[in-house]
């Protein structure tokens, strides 16, 4: 299957919808697809920007075992205690008119 087909599916109205997979094995290994960027990480928290919003992973002894920006895949290992999504923030207008009418 082509990589782009795996990540995108067509909705009924013809628009593209992102597909993201999270696979958690024994609360010790987390495989994530659809990762756009790693914003922050240490041994207790990892914050990722994904196609479906910001994803925060909490735990102990966390480490990023695999990171591939080309395929948008990340594997995190350690003792995982929490996964939480937050909505993507809309990009604010940085034009002069946008700042004036803010």
Classified by CATH at the fold level, domain 3-89 comes out as Immunoglobulin-like (2.60.40)
CA distance 72 to 98: 33
- Whole-number pLDDT of residue 18: 73
Residue-averaged pLDDT of the chain: 80
Structural domain boundaries in the chain: 3-89
- The token pair at 65 is 């075992």
Q: Is the pLDDT of residue 37 over 80?
A: yes
Which DSSP helix (H) or strand (E) runs through 70?
A: none
Residues 48-55: what's their mean pLDDT?
93
Residues 45-72: what's their mean pLDDT?
93
- The token pair at 15 is 């628009």
CA distance 34 to 7: 7
């Amino acid at each position: 299957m082509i990589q782009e087909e795996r990540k995108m599916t067509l909705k009924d109205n013809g628009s593209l919808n992102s597909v993201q997979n999270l696979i958690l094995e024994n609360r010790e290994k987390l495989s994530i697809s659809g990762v756009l960027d790693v914003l922050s990480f240490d041994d207790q928290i990892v914050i990722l920007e994904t196609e479906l919003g910001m994803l925060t992973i909490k735990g102990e002894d966390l480490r990023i075992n695999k990171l591939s920006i080309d395929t948008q895949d990340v594997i995190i290992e350690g003792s995982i205690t929490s996964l939480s999504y937050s909505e993507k923030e809309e990009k604010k207008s940085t034009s002069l008119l946008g700042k004036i009418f803010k």
